[in-house]
Structure formats: C-alpha cells, structure tokens
Structure 1
Amino acid sequence: YILVDWLVEVTTMKDFSSQVLHVTIGCVDRYLSRHLVPKAQLQLLGIACMVISTRYISREILTIREAVWLTDNTYQYEDLVRMMGEVISVLDGKIR
C-alpha cells in the first residue's frame, strides 16, 4: 500500500489523470504476478510503470530524469531505463 500511496501522490503532484494512475498500478500488478521484486526495488518498478503509462496515455509525460528525481535519486538513470525495458518485455508490450 505504501507504493500505491506514493504513486497517488506523484499523480496528484504532476496533475496526471486517474487513468494514468490506474494503468500504472495495473502494470505493476501484472509485472508482480510474473516476477518477484525485492522490496528495495518496488519504487523503481512503480515509477518505471508510471513513465511508461504517461507515454501511452497522457499529453504530459514524465521524463526519466524527473522520475529519478522523484525517487530522491535512490535509483540512477540507467536503473530506470533498464526497469522500463524489463516491464515492457515482461508485459509483451501490452501496457493497457
């Protein structure tokens, strides 16, 4: 619930639509149903799914650099790009 709460906070702060939030959480859920993710990387997974979701749904996108900043620089640019690629691969490109 901590991850979802943080994603709601980011969605509100960035003024994204509720659809972005729902697609993001759906991606996280589907990814987690196929792969185990260490607790320390759940935020990385969540923000990667949000970056991907904004590119599919929103007029305003969440940039990778901004996403890294939103995680208080817990992860590096390369970590996020790698996770985004993994999410897209695991979900076979079916984001919605």
Structure 2
Amino acid sequence: EIYPGFAATDVLFNDVGAVIGVATCDMGIENNGELGANYTRGMELLCKYVLIGEGERGSLAKQLIAKLDLQKDREPQKFCIGIKELWQVNPENHRP
C-alpha cells in the first residue's frame, strides 16, 4: 500500500529488535506545539517486510544505522554531486 502525503517518521521494532513497520507523523499540531482541533495521531503501519527507500541520509535510514550499528567496522559514507542531465546545445543558442 502507498500512503501519499503521510511521511514516515519512526521505524518500529519488536521486543527482539527486528523491524516490524513504520509510524507516520502526527497531524494537526499547532505552531506552538499544542494539539489543535484537527489533531490526528500518526498511524503505525505494521508489515512482514519493510523497504526503506529514502536514501542513505534520510531520517529513517539514520535511525536504522544508529539502532542496528550498521556503520561498525565500515568506511565512512561518501557523498558527491553528480550530473542528472546533460544537454547538447547548438553554439548559436547560448553564450558562455
């Protein structure tokens, strides 16, 4: 199932430390931090398999790296800037 518009904010673990799902964020919290009239508690989405596809710097990935000690005895992560698109433009259509 896909829940667009509902950000997952926490990874859920069972009592032996296995990942069992994610929790979505609470909605309807006022700017001052108090619960508003439209407050709705986030959902716990429990499942057999959890696929985290947010990238290595996402908040859930950071939780998993910390909780499961995934960086132990590993090289530090490396990040770089890449090119997503490369356009070839006729010289008469642009100026340096």
For the aligned pair, the TM-score class normalised by the smaller chain equals under 0.3
Q: Which has the higher contact order (CA 8 A, sep 6+)?
A: 1
The structure in which a higher percent of residues are strand is 2
If you compute each CA radius of gyration, which structure gives the higher value, 1 or 2?
2
Higher helix share: 1
Normalised by the size of structure 1, how large is the TM-score? 0.23
